[in-house]
Amino acid sequence: MGDNSGSNQMWGGRFAGGPSAIMREINASIPFDKALWRQDIAASKAHVDMLGAQGIVSPDDAALIAGGLDQVAAEYEASGVPENWDLEDIHMTTESRLAELIGPAAGRLHTARSRNDQVATDFRLWVRDAMDQAELGLKQLQVALVSRAGEHSGSIMPGFTHLQTAQPVTLGHHLMAYYEMIGRDRSRFADARVRMNRSPLGAAALAGTGFPIDRFRTAEALGFDGPTDNSLDSVSDRDFALDYLMAAAQCSLHLSRLAEEFIIWASQPFGFVTLPDSLSTGSSIMPQKKNPDAAELVRGHSGRIVGCLTALMITMKGLPLAYSKDMQDDKPPVFEAASLLALSIAAMTGMVAEAKFRTERMRAAAELGYATATDLADWLVRQANIPFREAHHITGSAVKLAESRGIALDQLSIEDLKAIDERIDDRVYAALSVEASVAARCSHGGTAPDEVRKRVAQARVALGLEESA
Ligand code: ARG
């Protein structure tokens, strides 16, 4: 290779020697950006098709390059992407293999293009797929939630505030709360997808190009809604990756909260749920144990996903226009978050679908803790026209008395209740059962079984599981 021996084949003209070992290592992104190979081939094919159509390269060369790219793709598919650090990244790896396969015509592929718009395009395509996959996975989780909520629209459990028994609710209502959260996550991914779906290809290095390219054509070929409108922004914008990570981070918080419910519910003092064997582990020392490891890891993974978001935010902070090499570090956090999120969604979907809810334990727990105390207060307001504050006070005395005897509210005799406030009569017992308590909460979005069934029916239509009535 004469004077340029050891120098890079792509820019060897300007460099006398090769990079040091450290430079090679710090520079190489191929170990991770090879994950972009499909997107890189697709974007290159769209580009060369456009170059041919615009007469920027000859039809013969365009066809030769397109065929060569197909061959490179077939090789990658069959045996993976080779990792040669001297070739730095997926873009140069592919171009170099293309040159080996088709000869000098390969050198025409990079006309009117730079790795800066190339990587921005490839990465957008990858993130767009990740958004679609997240959306799809979350929909499956919603299907599981709705189906279990339908089964348990009337199953009574304690509702908590401060993790203290507050009022009885239904398990269906509790599960549908997560349906709502996951619905917001889906819409965040969908919003982000709309915002990001513009093609940066053709922005070239930073300033655009003098070649008569057709950016609308490449945008359309790659499924974008059109080209981006500012070349500097196009090559230095990573908002789409941040949007993805923000949606992923928020979603992971929801998954972590759901995981936490299962962890608490599966603990022996609660005993509200038996976790599926397929998503639990045993202990190497304590034979009786069945640990909620999958749920704990979902809870743990949310920390890592939020970390990925933080990493990319800090990477992007303060970068002047346009491209800087810092931006090569955009990919590992996104790839990591995407695989953690996909696993977390799958684990929670399995957990929801297969958990055995111990509804008799839930119901018994709802009977404890004076969960219907508010119902007694509400009854006093309705039946005896007592102001709520006073009713609250009277009820407090009843709870205190029941507590001192170690019995439930509805086990107090009518004499005892009358001694507390003589306006109480024995119609009150009807209001003190947990069934009466949940049935009474029939305001829109409330926990009454009829209300939960309405929400489940609407959700089934929204998810396409049923035609609308
Ligand atoms: N591997 C690079 C990255 O991921 C590709 C873009 C390189 N551009 C450049 N001007 N060195 O960011």
DSSP H helical ranges for 80-214: 90-102, 115-151, 171-196
Residue 282 Cα to ligand 1 midpoint, Å, equals: 47
**Among the atoms of ligand 1, which is closest to the Cα of residue 29?**
1
Ligand 1, residue 205: give the atom nearest the CA. 10
Among left, alpha and beta (phi > 0; psi -120 to 50; other), residue 280 is beta
CA of 116 to the centre of ligand 1 (A): 6
Q: Residues 5, 283, 324, 397: which is the catalytic one? A: 283
Q: What is the DSSP string of 368-393?
A: STTTTHHHHHHHHHHHH---HHHHHH
Whole-number Å distance, alpha carbon 302 to ligand 1 midpoint, is 29
pLDDT reported for residue 290: 82
CA 328 / ligand 1 centre spacing (Å): 6
Pocket-testing residue among 89, 113, 319, 321, ligand 1, by greatest number of atoms within 8 A of Cβ: 89
157 has pLDDT over 80? yes
**At 11, is the pLDDT very low, low, confident or very high (cuts 50, 70, 90)?**
low
By alpha-carbon position, which residue is closest to atom 12 of ligand 1?
328
CA distances from 191 to 101, 123, 131, 183, 305 (A): 42, 18, 10, 12, 20
Active site residue 162: yes
Strand, coil or helix: 170: strand
**What domains, with CATH codes, occur in the chain?**
24-111 (1.10.275.10), 116-212+222-359 (1.20.200.10), 365-463 (1.10.40.30)
Give the residue whose CA is nearest to atom 4 of ligand 1.
328
CA of 142 to the centre of ligand 1 (A): 39
Q: Are 241 and 312 in contact (CB under 8 A)?
A: yes
Interval 350-358 mean pLDDT? 97
Over residues 216-259, the pLDDT tens digits come to 999 999 999 999 999 999 999 999 999 999 999 999 999 999 99
| pLDDT at site 5 | 45
pLDDT, tens digit, 9 for 90 and up, residues 171-206:
999 999 999 999 999 999 999 999 999 999 999 999
The answer to whether residues 120 and 218 touch, using CB atoms and an 8 Å cutoff, is no
Residue 378 tokens read as 């509400």
Which atom of ligand 1 is closest in space to residue 123's alpha carbon? 4
pLDDT tens-digit map of 88-116? 999 999 999 999 999 999 999 999 999 99
The token pair at 222 is 């790659």
Query: What is the model's pLDDT at position 187?
Result: 98
| Residue of the CA atom closest to atom 11 of ligand 1 | 325
What gap in Å lies between CA 186 and CA 132, rounded to an integer?
9
Q: Is the pLDDT of residue 440 over 90?
A: yes
Ligand 1 atom nearest residue 327's Cα: 12
What spacing in Å lies between the alpha carbon of 114 and ligand 1's midpoint? Answer: 9
Q: Provide the token pair at 55.
A: 């007469």
The Å distance, Cα 17 to ligand 1 centre, comes to: 21
Provide the CB-side half-sphere exposure for 172 (13 A, CA).
24
Work out which ligand 1 atom sits closest to the CA atom of 115.
Answer: 6
Tell me the helix, strand and coil percentages in the chain, rounded to 5: 65, 5, 30
Q: How far is the CA of 131 from the centre of ligand 1 (A)?
A: 23
Q: Span 279-283, mean pLDDT?
A: 81
Using the predicted structure, report yes or no on whether residue 20 has a pLDDT greater than 80.
yes
DSSP code per residue over 333-351: HHHHHHHHHHHHHHHHHHH
pLDDT tier, 3 (very low <50, low <70, confident <90, very high otherwise): very low
CA of 40 to the centre of ligand 1 (A): 13
The answer to whether 256 and 263 have CB atoms below 8 angstroms apart is no
pLDDT at 285 over 80: no
Nearest-CA residue for ligand 1 atom 10 is 116
Taking the C-alpha atoms of residue 281 and residue 54, their distance in angstroms, rounded to an integer, is 61
Query: Catalytic: 91?
Result: no
Q: Which of 24, 328, 329 to mutate to test the pocket of ligand 1 (most atoms within 8 A of CB)?
A: 328
Residue 156 pLDDT level (bands cut at 50, 70, 90): very high
Contact 389, 183 (CB under 8 A): no
Mutate to test the pocket of ligand 1, among 238, 325, 330, 331 (most ligand atoms within 8 A of CB): 325
Residue ranges around ligand 1 (CB below 6 Å): 29, 33, 89, 115-116, 119, 323, 325, 327-328
Nearest CA to ligand 1 atom 1: 89
Active-site position among 162, 284, 404, 443: 162
Residue among 11, 14, 119 whose CB has most ligand 1 atoms within 8 A, to mutate = 119
Nearest atom (ligand 1) to Cα of 90: 1
Can you spell out the DSSP letters for 265-300? HHSTTT--EE--GGG-EE-SS-TT-EE-HHHHHHHH
Which of 458, 441, 457, 465 is closest to 170 using CA atoms? Answer: 441
Question: How do residues 411-435 score in pLDDT, each as one tens digit?
Answer: 999 999 999 999 999 999 988 889 9
